[in-house]
Amino acid sequence: MKTSLLAIALATLAGIASAHAQTNPAQAYPTRPGVVIVPFAAGGPADITGRIAAEIFSKALGQQFVVENIGGAGGATGTTRAARAAPDGYTLTLGHMGTHAAAVALTPNLAYNPVTDFEPIGLMSTQPVVVATRKGFPANNLKEFVTYAKANASKLNMAHAGVGSVSYTSCLLLNHEIGIKTTMVPFTGTAPVLNAMLGEQVDYVCDPILGPLPHIRAGTLKAMSVATEKRHPALPDTPTSAEGGLPGFQAAPFYGIFAPKGTPQAIVDKLSAALSAGLDDPVVANRFATLGAVITDKKDRDSKGLAAMVKSELARLTPILKAASAQ
């Protein structure tokens, strides 16, 4: 008798829990695999970062999150796809200083609004930009690069991941600081850019350190400078922009995860907590350190931190980029 009463009680509780999960899907989330869109080609800094986020979510939430690379239009194609996806927590996107700030000033008819079309999940990292050239380029540091570029601007090919991307934006600002205009060659990401540089087909790139670092270490690409105030521990012999005579050229773009606008708050909170905790995992921290990225401080990692970063980068970059592209 006691056993059957217990069985009835348990069945009732299970029924209530399942009914609750049905009326409140956020409670049960995630019940199926999810996607993290990376709006650039596989193998570059955005892809590496998006894959780390997908691994963090898979491990923390018990469902597989896979990366889908949707390159094109400087990140706008994949980011627009994410903005229009169902706001159910199963489609997320990796966004950065390009897709969620610079693109507003640089991309005509941008089909999404980085502030109103997304629920920010959290900040992951900043990634110092390195100015790198093909191995055979006739300069060995930023000072020599500037001298050579001023004399030969019309012959130079700058390669980038599309108008509005981090690599485009950073090199646009570099060119503006130097006072030159060069040919700008678009790719779907900087992984294919680096392949073209290894083949000596294009001259230079402004890429977050995650991309060129292994090639610089291997001696197959050359680092001209790192666009931060201090030298980077991974490239101790590479001068900063200021050391190279361009103190105004600073670039360390942010990387974060966004969900489409309207994603339930409980799901946003779950993803945000999982992302922040995942970044504390020593394996993840060590991986980012090895790659040269700087993990965002815990206090700034949440949705509010990412929302504030997007707004402040929009305000900072929009006038500078309009001026630089009008030059």
Name the token pair of 169: 């934006």
Q: CB of residue 94 vs ligand MLT: minimum separation in angstroms? A: 9
C-alpha to C-alpha distances, 202 to 148, 192, 248, nearest whole angstrom: 15, 11, 25
Among residues 91, 93, 133, 167, the one that binds ligand MLT under rule CB under 6 A: 167
Task: State the Cα–Cα distance between residues 236 and 312, nearest whole angstrom.
Answer: 30
Q: CB of residue 49 vs ligand MLT: minimum separation in angstroms? A: 8
**165 makes contact with ligand MLT (CB under 6 A):** yes
Task: State the Cα–Cα distance between residues 22 and 26, nearest whole angstrom.
Answer: 9
Are the C-beta atoms of residues 39 and 107 closer than 8 Å to each other? no
How is 189-211 classified by DSSP, letter by letter?
SHHHHHHHHHTTSS-EEEEETTT
Q: CB of residue 251 vs ligand MLT: minimum separation in angstroms? A: 11
Q: Choose one: 61-69, 81-89, 187-195, 289-297; the region binding ligand MLT (CB under 6 A).
A: 187-195
Q: Choose one: 43-51, 80-88, 232-240, 284-292; the region binding ligand MLT (CB under 6 A).
A: 43-51
Q: Choose one: 26-34, 188-196, 269-277, 316-324; the region binding ligand MLT (CB under 6 A).
A: 188-196
The backbone torsions φ and ψ at residue 263, rounded to the nearest 5 degrees and listed phi first, read -60, 130
Task: State the Cα–Cα distance between residues 181 and 154, nearest whole angstrom.
Answer: 7
Binding track, positions 80-119, relative to ligand MLT; x by CB under 6 A:
------------------x---------------------
Name the token pair of 307: 């929302």
Cβ proximity to ligand MLT: between 47 and 302 the closer is 47
The set of residues, in sequence order, having a beta carbon less than 8 Å from that of 288 and lying 6+ positions away, is: 52, 125, 279, 294, 295
Q: Choose one: 7-15, 53-61, 184-192, 244-252; the region binding ligand MLT (CB under 6 A).
A: 184-192
Residues forming the site for ligand MLT (CB under 6 A): 40-41, 44-47, 75, 98, 161, 165-167, 189-191, 207-208, 211
